[in-house]
Structure 1
Amino acid sequence: MIARATSPLRRLWPLIVIASAAAVGWWWYGDLLSFEALAANREALLALRDSHYAATVLGFTLAYALIVALSLPGASVATLTGGFLFATFPGTIFNVLGATLGASAIFLVARSSIGASFAARLEGSEGVVKRIKDGIDENQWSMLFLIRLVPAVPFVIANLVPAFLEVPLHRYVISTFFGIMPGALVYTSIGAGLSEVFARGAAPDLGLLFTPSILLPILGLCALALLPVLLKAMRGGREIG
């Protein structure tokens, strides 16, 4: 009886720890993860990079992973920092690696705590909810890439939803790493040009991602991700007919 009563709490404690750390991070470090903070500390960051490059890469990647895992504000600023410190390449790789590590961490925590029970409830449901889950299960690769590519999907939502749908870890990691790469490449390239922005005393234009020259290719990738789903639906329609 006691073991049965404490079992849910035992499953939930990693999620409780993450949520508590996130709350502390938002309260304590929220103001530090800003463009103004980056501008004020840019010389110190460049000096640290020049004197301890490998340690800076490791520290930056782990810090980025922590920001994502705790869903802290400032992920965009972190991406800019990756470009500012390490240029578009290899900065994009460091940004994507840090984001993937952080996303994978929160995915594993969510799946091990409430993901399995939630997935079981969806599997045992009926009607529209069950059909939606079955549709996602049948097209996991396409749907995983789609939620990463579409700029309108909040990153934290894309991190958590797959944990409730019994997505295998390897699919989650691969789709996250490559799915966020287009957007990360754009923001990292903006960060790589921050020296000129700082010289003008201006702020970076993060709306660049939504300009036609950038957004249309990303939407093209979204259409490509949806293509297997559409082809499968068309084949199913022909078989029914």
Structure 2
Amino acid sequence: MTPARLWPLGLMVLCAVAITYAFGDRLTYQALVDSHDALEAFRNDHAVLTSLAFVTIYAAMVGLSVPGATIATLTGGFLFGLWPGIAFNVAGATIGATLLFLAVRFGLGRSLAERIDASPGRIARIKRGLDENQWSMLFFIRLAPVIPFFAANLLPGLLNVPLNRFVISTAIGILPGAAIYTSVGAGLGSLLETGQRPDLGVIFEPRLLLPILGLAALSLVPVILRLRRSLQ
């Protein structure tokens, strides 16, 4: 690995620090409340531009791992409704995650994966096990709400996961969470009129959490079956 391969990551870190310092106070729920009238007016006057700008900004936030993705998802629901809000939120999140994935893989992933493959011992065996069950593990880390989104973007890049698998599993795996928060955002207007705040912990309510955990467990079935066959 040469230092030149690290420049995308270094540039992204510098941009993330600069954006957080300059705009961190605007990536909050209160900032959304304060600017909701202006955002609605701009969307009404420039619908296509608003859509493109939203997806671009969302992708940049995720790619740079700038705090505020949940607020961005709420904004997508608030501006565009449940549909096409879900599509815009998933598109922005997937594009941003892919940019980070590619930067990590270009800078560290291939070199690290090759070193792990060449090394003896437990770590190499673990990686081979992950390689054999990539689809299952990728869907699991997306569906399990306890795994940070940043980590779910970072680890596949370090393990040299194929790009197409990463993109597909990301777009599908984040759909349940995106649908929930987009729905909350779609109802934000009525909450603001009554002075209420949205429940951002709604995803951890049993009626929503249990089905998502069920999907996460279902994604591990191929891993369990393969392990069972190997033990027979």
SS in 1 for 2:66: coil
Aligned to 1:138: 132
Structure whose CA Rg is larger: 1
Aligned to 1:172: 166
| Equivalent position to 2:189, from 195, 211, 218 | 195
Listed as ranges, the gaps of 5+ residues in structure 2 are: none
Which deviates the most, 95-104 or 18-27? 18-27
What residue identity is the alignment partner of 1:43? D
Which contiguous aligned blocks of 4+ residues in structure 1 show a shift greater than 2 angstroms? none
Corresponding position: 1:221 with 2:215: yes
SS in 2 for 1:153: coil
Corresponding position: 1:54 with 2:48: yes
Aligned to 1:65: 59
Aligned Cα RMSD in Å? Answer: 0.9
Deviation at 1:113, TM superposition (A): 0.9
Match runs of 1:1-241 below 5 Å = 8-238=2-232
Distance in 1 (CA, whole Å) between partners of 2:200 and 2:119 is 42
Distance in 2 (CA, whole Å) between partners of 1:43 and 1:191 is 14
Q: Percent of counterpart pairs with the same letter?
A: 52
Deviation at 1:223, TM superposition (A): 1.2
- 1:89-133 CA-partner distances (Å, limit 9, x unpaired): 110110000000000001111111111111112112222211210
TM-score for the superposition, normalised by structure 1: 0.94
Aligned pairs, number: 232
SS in 1 for 2:220: helix
Distance in 2 (CA, whole Å) between partners of 1:125 and 1:89 is 48
What residue identity is the alignment partner of 1:128? R
TM-score for the superposition, normalised by structure 2: 0.98
- 1:154-190 CA-partner distances (Å, limit 9, x unpaired): 1111001001111100000000000000000000000
Distance in 2 (CA, whole Å) between partners of 1:126 and 1:219 is 35
Which deviates the most, 194-203 or 219-228? 194-203
